[in-house]
């Protein structure tokens, strides 16, 4: 009489455990590590905050530059001050004295 081959029964608990692990891995990949996952969302939020901060700094710089532009267009005394301090310019008949410091 031929020997009967033993068929192994698959434990249903192991099947459920395998499915659960597979499902958890899929959820992790899709919701946390995917292109629209939580990590990507968090990084995008941080980048957005940095860009908003940079925008506010640039707006403040623009306001300062607009103020200086207005002064340069309308305030001759300010233009004269800039010309004297920055470019060492002088009026006719004036003498400019330069004082050298000991570090020069």
Comparison of pLDDT for 31 and 19, the residue scoring more: 19
Q: Is the pLDDT of residue 4 over 70?
A: no
Q: What pLDDT score was predicted for residue 68?
A: 95
Decide if 62 is inside a domain. Answer: yes
Decide if 83 is inside a domain. Answer: yes
pTM of the entire predicted model? 0.55
pLDDT digits 0-9 by tens, 22-74? 999 888 887 777 777 788 888 899 999 999 999 999 999 999 999 999 999 99
Distance in angstroms between the alpha carbons of the first and the last residue of the chain:
113
Sign, Cα dihedral of 19, 20, 26, 30: positive
Distance of CA 84 to the CA centre of its chain: 40
Comparison of pLDDT for 82 and 3, the residue scoring more: 82
Q: What pLDDT score was predicted for residue 3?
A: 67
DSSP 17-29: HHHHHHHHHHHII
Q: What pLDDT score was predicted for residue 60?
A: 98
Overall average pLDDT of the 76-101 stretch: 86
Range of the domain at 22: 13-87
Decide if 49 is inside a domain. Answer: yes
Decide if 94 is inside a domain. Answer: no
Decide if 6 is inside a domain. Answer: no
């Amino acid at each position: 009489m031929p020997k009967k081959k033993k068929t192994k029964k698959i434990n249903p608990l192991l099947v459920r455990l395998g499915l659960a692990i597979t499902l958890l891995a899929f959820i992790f990949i899709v919701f946390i590590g995917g292109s629209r996952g939580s990590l990507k969302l968090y990084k995008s939020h941080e980048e957005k905050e940095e860009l908003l901060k940079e925008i506010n700094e640039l707006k403040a710089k623009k306001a300062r530059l607009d103020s200086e532009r207005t002064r340069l267009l309308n305030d001759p005394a300010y233009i004269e001050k800039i010309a004297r301090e920055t470019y060492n310019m002088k009026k006719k008949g004036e003498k400019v004295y330069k004082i050298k410091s000991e570090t020069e």
